[in-house]
Amino acid sequence: MPTISEVAKRAGVSSSTVSHVINKTRFVSSELQGRVQAAMDELGYQPNALAQSLRRGEAKTLGLILPDSSNPYFAEIGHSVEAAAFEKGYNLILCNTEGDLAREHLYVAVLGNKKVDGIIFASAGDSSASIQFLLKRGFPVVVIDRDLASPDVDEVVADNQMGGYLATQHLIRLGHQLIGCIAGPSYVLPSGRRVSGYRRALEEAGIPEESRLIQPGDFHPETGYSSALALLRGSPRPTAIFACNDLMAMGVIRAAVESGLSVPEDLAVVGYDDIVLASYVSPPLTTVAQPKLQMGQAAVRILVERIHDGQHSCYQELLPVHLVVRKSSGVSIYR
């Protein structure tokens, strides 16, 4: 690679003049600018974009902390964030916490030392300490897919309560009265809001809530499977199950089949997230679609605004969800 000194020699100017032309740090006449540009073109010189950004106080790099990159939902969120960051000229560093708060704290420290410009954060649990650590140091942070209910943090979340409501209302309209619900982790607010939506739909329909019909889960297919077996062994057994994410819903379908039940004839199943795989399982899964693309785009947009203007008031963006009806809930015409 040619050096600045070689460009300066070819253009007949000093190295500092070349530097000022590249970085626009001082006025240089149009005649000298033309000579420097011609010399760079002739030699094939490319300015070091990273060095330029560091001189301006920017690394042009964002951090993304996810709780489980093996979960297709978070993989799709990561893809949308990366695409939006790339469009705005930023690189992305991905950190996967595996739901471990200690690992999350370590990544927060590492990203801070790497001098990234800001972090998009889907927390592993109670991440208030990590977020406050960053905010107190003036570090731009946007929380995605996690409702911290804090007016001091930029957040982008979907309407989880409405999602739980739509899923359960759909099953009620199909005639189901005994509807099981498999929740996500208790420490994750979106999970609790989906269960709240389930309860709201039952209450509006005048269906008594039964505590035995609400089973714990952790967003993995194994707990969808085991919790579904517990529900199906109850008496009377539910005729429908709403699982609070698609992976658990897939575990429910397996449990139903192994129990000798047909989906949807004997058991209607509804999931949550609308991951790509949801339309390829058998039967195709009715689910609540999360606005994954819009969430990634909004998080990057807000973070870049925060990087360049740290004084504006915090954003609290609540994005809509919608129900995607497929065969698993027993509807013959599906999208």
Q: Residue 289: beta bridge partners?
A: 273, 322
Residue 263 has a pLDDT of 96
Going 148 to 150 to 154 to 158, the CA torsion angle's sign is positive
Residue 278 has a pLDDT of 96
Residue 97 has a pLDDT of 86
- Chain segment 32-41, per-residue pLDDT in tens: 999 999 999 9
- Write the CATH number of the domain with boundaries 4-47: 1.10.260.40
Between CA 102 and CA 32 the distance in angstroms is 55
With CA atoms as reference, report the closest residue to 170 among 238, 73, 241, 251. Answer: 241
pLDDT at 319 over 70: yes
DSSP conformation letters of 229-296: HHHHTSSSPPSEEEESSHHHHHHHHHHHHHTT--TTTT-EEEEEE--GGGGTSSSPPEEEEP-HHHHH
What pLDDT band is residue 335 in, cutting at 50, 70 and 90? very low
pLDDT at 124 over 50: yes
Which residue in this structure is represented by tokens 């429908």? 240
If you average pLDDT over residues 322-331, what whole number do you get?
Answer: 92
* Torsion angles phi and psi, residue 141, rounded to 5: -135, 135
With CA atoms as reference, report the closest residue to 316 among 135, 148, 77, 102. Answer: 148
pLDDT at 332 over 60: no
- Write the CATH number of the domain with boundaries 61-158+292-319: 3.40.50.2300
Total-model pTM:
0.80
With CA atoms as reference, report the closest residue to 154 among 304, 328, 323, 49. Answer: 304
If you average pLDDT over residues 273-295, what whole number do you get?
Answer: 96
Fill in the DSSP letter of residue 82.
Answer: H
Q: Over pLDDT 90: what percentage of the chain?
A: 60
Q: Which CATH architecture has domain 160-290+323-329?
A: 3-Layer(aba) Sandwich (3.40)
* Domain spans, the chain: 4-47, 61-158+292-319, 160-290+323-329
Contact between residue 288 and residue 323 where contact means Cβ atoms under 8 Å apart: yes
Residue 23 has a pLDDT of 76
Residue 186 has a pLDDT of 82
Which residue in this structure is represented by tokens 């004997």? 266
Q: Do domains 61-158+292-319 and 160-290+323-329 have the same CATH topology?
A: yes
Pairing of strands 91-96, 61-66: parallel
Structure tokens at 189: 């607010």
What pLDDT band is residue 51 in, cutting at 50, 70 and 90? low
Residue 209 has a pLDDT of 94
If you average pLDDT over residues 213-228, what whole number do you get?
Answer: 96
What pLDDT band is residue 26 in, cutting at 50, 70 and 90? confident
If DSSP codes are grouped into helix, strand and coil, which group holds residue 316? Answer: strand
- Strand blocks (E) in 2-140: 61-66, 91-96, 118-121
Going 15 to 21 to 23 to 26, the CA torsion angle's sign is positive
Q: Over pLDDT 70: what percentage of the chain?
A: 91
Between CA 176 and CA 330 the distance in angstroms is 11
DSSP conformation letters of 10-39: HHTS-HHHHHHHHHT-S---HHHHHHHHHH
Phi-psi region of 48 (alpha: psi -120 to 50; beta: other; left: phi over 0): beta
Fill in the DSSP letter of residue 331.
Answer: -
Between CA 113 and CA 229 the distance in angstroms is 47
